[in-house]
Amino acid sequence: MRFAANEPHATQEALGVEGLLVVEMFLLRDGTLLLNELARYQEALSWMQKACELLPHDVETLNNFADTQAQFGDLEGAAATYDRVRAIAPHDANAALGAAHLDLLRGNFEAGWAAREARWKVPDLPIAYPNFSQPMWLGKESLSGKTILIYADEGMGDAIQLARYMPDLAARGAKVILMVHAALVPLLSGVSGVSQCVAKNSPEALPPFDMFCPMLSLPFVLGTTLDTIPAEIPYLPLPAAEAVQAWDEKLPPRERLRVGLVWSGNPAHAKDIRRSIPLALLARILDADVTFVSLQKQLRPEDESVLAGTGMVDLTADLRDFSDTAALLCCLDLVITVDTSVAHLAGALGRPTWLLLPFVPDYRWLLGRDDSPWYPTLRLFRQSESREYGSVLDRVRAELVAHAQAKAN
């Protein structure tokens, strides 16, 4: 039912006070979700608090409030709100997953990895429980003499990050079959411990196996803590010397530092607005006396004209898969990237990498540190409470200029 703006009395008479209150509740909730997506967290927090007052037992509203609190940095408040949800709906998967990410972000891996298994029950996530008749391995059964399928259940960056566990599984006596995104097959086929690597879009190529485990469940079933993360780098096979040389010959001579750049991720990512940077903003570091090399495979329309005016070396049209990207990375002195699969690739290869992070990052980057226990060669540049990338890039530029001068001397 629609009403003209000059008919408030007709509206109230038609809906009644209770009906108007319901409309206000849902307008508040939907509007707050939009503000949250636009990263206007202070405003979103205020409106969401109002929505929670109007809808004190609405699980969706409370979950959205907890997420907003977390993105604003109020982790204790977010945890308390998730507790409220679970008091109302003890088996709510969204609250369990949100609380799991808070635990992981704070380094509480024991609780976080276990609770993160709730992801299979969360509607609308871009994942699906593998439809295999074989049982899922939960870390208790012996793998000696068994064939286990390790299935990449989430993103490509996740698959690269967790490929580090394959040697452990093989050391337990397992034959390891790895099923990943097609673009990763050439890269991950050579990981130590992997007997066979097949593409997710080619299930017919799967050989027989005894059990399976999703990749994002491996830290849980293997009992990973902050102190037991397998961090021997590199754990990916280094590109062949001839492949590296072929890319090296395409680049300008090594008269200056070669610095690879990635400034945006998949625009379909739920929180892409917090991690990606417009190239026009990143341009504030491009006056540093180094050779910049674009690693940005997918360009957004607004970045295309900007890139053309930067003079940046762009060989991305020649990158066929992640093996090509790995060889190109080995020709560079430094990689500067937002939180994308390239960050994981560079880290897994042991390449010096500066990672640009939002104020509250993805759970794997933890809090309050400028290093990563997952990748010893990563350096983390975090947003301050101002939640903007301008000041982050100013710090990066100053460090880059100093780095280039040290190299020149």
Residue pLDDT, tens place only, 160-201: 999 999 999 999 999 999 999 999 999 999 999 999 999 998
- Tell me if 147-221 shares its fold with 241-408: yes
Q: Give the CATH fold of the 147-221 domain.
A: Rossmann fold (3.40.50)
Say whether 251 sits in a helix, a strand or coil: coil
Q: How far apart are CA 108 and CA 219, in angstroms?
A: 12
Are 184 and 213 spatial neighbours (Cβ–Cβ below 8 Å)?
no
Say whether 175 sits in a helix, a strand or coil: strand
Residues of the chain with pLDDT under 70: 1-41
From the DSSP assignment, how many helices (H) and strands (E) are in the chain?
Answer: 17, 10
Per-residue pLDDT at 166:
98
**Biggest CA pair distance of the chain:** 79
Torsion, Cα of 192, 229, 354, 276 (10° steps):
90
Per-residue pLDDT at 151:
96
Q: How far apart are CA 273 and CA 264, in angstroms?
A: 9
Torsion, Cα of 46, 41, 364, 260 (10° steps):
180
Per-residue pLDDT at 29:
54
Both tokens of 72, joined, read: 């604003």
Q: Which homologous superfamily does the CATH classification assign to the domain defined by 8-121?
A: Tetratricopeptide repeat domain (1.25.40.10)
Torsion, Cα of 239, 243, 248, 249 (10° steps):
180
Q: Could you tell me which CATH class the domain 241-408 is placed in?
A: alpha beta
Q: How far apart are CA 7 and CA 1, in angstroms?
A: 13
Per-residue pLDDT at 272:
82
Per-residue pLDDT at 407:
80
Per-residue pLDDT at 267:
83
- Ordered by start, the domain boundaries in the chain are 8-121, 147-221, 241-408
What amino acid occupies position 143?
L
